[in-house]
Amino acid sequence: MSTPLKEIRIYVPESAHILLSGRAEAFGEDIGAVTKRIVMEHVKREMHAMTVINRRFRNTGIEPDMFGDAAEPAPTQPGTSRK
């Protein structure tokens, strides 16, 4: 059973529209089908990259700090305290 499709509307530059409509015409497809295929290929590549990245974090034991908002660790070496 596949998941339901969601509608996404975007605006693209004219150059991208020319590329997409040209590919659609060249292969006798609908521009929406061409765009969907390109987006899905990209999404699959991104998901694969995230899987590899997560595996590397897990294997090294590093907690990812994705947004840089983790608290700084306290200094552990002598002479590095802030007084």
The set of residues, in sequence order, having a beta carbon less than 8 Å from that of 29 and lying 6+ positions away, is 23
Tell whether the model's pLDDT for residue 72 goes beyond 70. no
For residue 82, give the amino acid letter. R
Contact, 31 vs 20, CB < 8 A?
yes
Tell whether the model's pLDDT for residue 81 goes beyond 60. no
Distances (CA, A) of 2 to 16, 20, 22, 34: 29, 26, 30, 20
The whole-number average pLDDT for the span 42-69 is 88
Reported as a single tens digit per residue, the pLDDT across 3-37 is: 999 999 999 999 999 999 999 999 999 999 999 99
Domain ranges of the chain: 14-60
Question: What pLDDT, on a 0 to 100 scale, did the predictor assign at position 65?
Answer: 76
Nearest residue to 65 (alpha-carbon basis) of 55, 76, 77, 57:
57
